Copies of this chain bind each other. A is one copy, B any other.
């Protein structure tokens, strides 16, 4: 941990990251997050019908709208582990509650790592004293590191602002969006603020931020069994409770969106051998929902993604992906741009010289593909990675 990392502090929260021995390599694999007082809490979980045990525990824990602690273990996803796995998730919460002398109903548990293997709760239990001992406001990034699995780098983002002259913070950390070795990995994100927020409005704002960010990234279109995003508000800033619809509320929403957005981008960037991050923007659809469906149809297409890897302005694949999205549009109105370069205008290709210009755009590590349907006001943005040899290498290797 670099020295300036300890400066990332969110009043009302303490963190630690310790080695419990769940990962085979001796690396931090348990993160503990504690709120000094019960924090307002809301969470969004995976829509996969195969929900891991910690997701079922988390869904129950979040119901009260308040949390005191979060325990995250990496190395074992506690997924496809049946009734015993569920018992283990609740046992983990109980062990943390005991160590922290709080109610077990105020503890949320997350897991990420291998699936189909029972979690050794004893290892977590034995690591908890050190985790409690290590709790510190400056250990934010230590916790961020303890939730990593095959992530190439830790992911966090901090936004600071002022309301009525008083400072506030919204900060979060997260891990990998893709489903990786050995069975699959998970998107986890934990966002913290010292603002005082009404829980219903906070839930709504979080859902909206998650939809526009974590739910707008596509590495391979697969949804994990463990995906979890949690927002905690301590109220420790001393700023009076925020009211939805006011300017301070909008400042909070903006900061929340930014934190989620940066974490989501980092997840795409770290996505399974990716070399590029591409923004797929769809405009002029009948509705925003329709625009998002079309954007995902493009962002998930293996043919589109391999063409990004090959820096090939293969607009035909993009156009075809719009076509098979199942959404209604007029082909003769479609414009397609790569960066600023128009490749399709009103459904027809532009002069072929533009392809060389678009090829240059695609040499960048990051660029935008814009599909303008000219058929309505629906808009959506989705971020995706390319699909190259690195993806195959990471995902095709036989686990030994």
Contact = CB atoms under 8 A, between A and B. Distances in A.
A392 interface: yes
Contact of A397 (B49, B312, B315): B312
Contacts of A223: 320, 323-324
Interface in A70-120: 79-82, 115-117
A255 B284 CA distance: 47
Contacts of A329: 49
Interface stretch (A135-143, A153-161, A200-208, A300-308): A300-308
A122 B217 CA distance: 47
Given A323-B225, A324-B223, A80 B50 contact: no
Stoichiometry, as copies per complex, reads 2
A47 to B, nearest CB: 7
Nearest to A316: B183
A323 B48 contact: yes
A150 interface: no
A392 B398 CA distance: 19
Nearest to A306: B395
A225 to B, nearest CB: 6
Nearest to A311: B398
SS of A interface (majority): loop
Contact of A396 (B82, B310, B397): B310
A312 B398 contact: yes
Contact of A47 (B49, B324, B359): B324
A49 B80 contact: no
A335 to B, nearest CB: 12
B184 A317 contact: yes
Nearest to A79: B316
A183 B321 CA distance: 12
Interface of A: 47-51, 79-82, 115-117, 179, 182-184, 220-225, 301-303, 306-307, 309-312, 314-317, 319-325, 327-329, 331-332, 344, 346-349, 359, 387-389, 391-392, 395-399
Minimum-distance CB pairs A-B, first 5: A183-B316, A50-B323, A310-B396, A116-B349, A306-B395
